[in-house]
Structure 1
């Protein structure tokens, strides 16, 4: 039986990444093992259900949103290489009093609306350079996605998997029964073409014309302009939907819609769109807001939202045309 490389082995062999970045990744990965166990025991431990409060996004928090956020906060604050953190669940940044090192943004439990029905959820994270010689401010977090030094996510599903990109490439690690991260996917890549899309069809009447036209063409199948049949998949957990695309191709769309015309999109640039865009691009796919590459967007606010179209490159180009 082949002995699988551990995450620690992989990080040690990575020559182009800063040693301190590896320490941050290791701290996040360890925290996510704890989160995986908490999520798995939700019904037994009484941690399912609403927390009875809303977050800065004006969204109802689940108990597990708060628990998982605290786990990551504690782990990152204890890591000497972390100068500050920002979470989807927190209104403001938090600093550690350290100068230099790295900043971390994260969504502690993406898709938490699904947690009570036992559907896959996940954690998303992004690592950014921190300023030297002074404590970080909110402005230091507002970096374009191109400046990320690492990004990843963990999906808590039938298997718990960590998908990670450091200086190049995308790698997948599966958590063993003993709580070790083992390298099971050495070269994660996305085919340029696909016959599968992920979107919430219930909002079709609210979409802008380019998205409506693209989906209409897909739905016509082999008798329409695309000349082939498409399948639709939609989990309503970004981690789960994007993970499927990383594993077998496809396109994920969470576009602007007319229900809230003043809001540019639903997903958060710093906590969701940027880290996923870096992973998707490193795997050979594309990620845009429908016009501009996600990684080229300049953040202006900590909780800024954007439309997201990502996945198989040729399909993303069709939506953006």
Structure 2
């Protein structure tokens, strides 16, 4: 693919992509709709309690069983309205139990989490929108079938972070990940980082350590070794970073490296993890891989997994390639698991 010329804003970037490949015109149209909706969302979120009780419960739950917040529903409606008039045939959302058909004549489908991290709304912590754009499947048997594709089939994917800055992270099936930041004065996203590379310099891991007792032994062993720092087999001091917001942690890792883990565990309903494959794991894995990182379900690449259902869950590990690969070794090589190698005492990693 030809190198994309340096462009100033998101609209110009999309124009460049369509010029290089006219087949992307429909995808670009959907991304323009996402951009417009994200600007509106940013305005609304910035008002916080001045707008109303955005973090208040509506007394209903979403497909994940989580209590819906007022802002969850507002975000869902806002993005769906934005897709009307674009070539989106159907939408899958965390807030909808079934695919929503928009335009039967459309040739694209969108999977989204309209508002990731909504439990953080009232705490003024970064939240976001995650999206995945897929082609329709010829002769698919019903709307749901169009979404049951591997993440490798994504035409474009990304997420928006509503934080100190509103940032839009996006990647096409070809080409590097791009990061744009909203200029509120001009009401447009301006390119801030072209082709970020997930680095290996920062020794940081993001994980909810309160679930430690429920993890499988390989995950426990990896975190134990991180905690030991230079006294342990990894011979490196690590810091833990955890915001409870997937988009915030993903954004940090894109810019400075590290690793994120949300493994499956022994709690009821958590065996296959908690994050959704279609509209959380796949989009994040897509942008991370195009930034030189890696994403797995602890063992297998996320983007190779065929969804079993539109709201299927999956364990998710992503970040710096070497560290993600190390987690895979902990799962595939018994020598890395404390449970399976009790005679080794302080384990060394000379076998890597």
TM-score tier, shorter chain, comes to over 0.9
C-alpha distance in structure 2 between counterparts of 1:318 and 1:44, whole Å: 46
**Aligned pair 1:304/2:312, yes or no?**
yes
Q: Aligned-pair RMSD on alpha carbons?
A: 1.7
What displacement does 1:176 show? 0.4
Cα distance between partner residues in 2 of 1:266 and 1:237:
13
Normalising by structure 2, what TM-score?
A: 0.87
Q: Deviations over 1:26-74 (max 9, x none)?
A: 1111111111111111311114221221112211011000000000011
How far off its partner does 1:98 sit? Answer: 2.4
What is the rounded CA distance, in whole Å, between the counterparts of 2:175 and 2:52 in structure 1? 41
Report the Cα distance in structure 1 between the residues aligned to 2:204 and 2:283, rounded to whole angstroms.
22
Q: Does structure 1 retain, via aligned residues, the 8 Å contact 2:201–2:256?
A: no
Question: Are the equivalent residues in 2 in contact too, given 1:97–1:135 (CA < 8 A)?
Answer: no
What's the CA shift for 1:317? 0.6
Structure 1 CA distance for aligned equivalents of residues 279 and 151 of structure 2: 11
1:97 corresponds to 2:112: no
Normalising by structure 1, we get a TM-score of 0.95
1:161 aligns with 2:167: yes
In structure 2, the CA distance between the partners of 1:258 and 1:133, relative to structure 1 (3 Å rule), is closer
* Residue of structure 1 aligned with 2:252, choices 244, 261, 273: 244
Partner of 2:178: 171
1:188 aligns to 2:191 (yes or no): no
- Say if 1:217 and 1:226, in contact at 8 Å, map to a contact too: yes
Q: Distance in 1 between matches of 2:110 and 2:269?
A: 30
Q: In structure 2, list runs of 5 or more residues that go unmatched.
A: 1-5, 330-352
Alpha-carbon displacement from aligned partner over 1:225-272 (angstroms, at most 9, x marks no partner):
111100110000000011100011010000011112663110000010
Question: Secondary structure of the residue that 2:121 maps to in structure 1?
Answer: helix
1:164-195 CA deviation, whole Å, 9 max, x = no partner?
A: 00122000000002211101111211024641
Distance in 1 between the 2:74 and 2:48 partners? 11
- Change over 3 Å in CA distance of 1:98–1:312 after alignment to 2: same
Q: Which has the larger radius of gyration?
A: 2
- Aligned residue for 2:130? 124
Change (3 A) 1:219 1:8: same
Runs of 4+ in 1 over 3 A off after TM superposition: 131-136
After TM superposition, the structure 1 = structure 2 runs for residues 51-90 of structure 1, keeping only pairs within 5 Å, are 51-79=58-86, 81-90=87-96
Of the candidates 220, 239, 243, which is equivalent to residue 231 of structure 1? 239
- Match of 1:220, SS state, is helix
SS at match of 2:122: helix
Partner of 1:213: 221
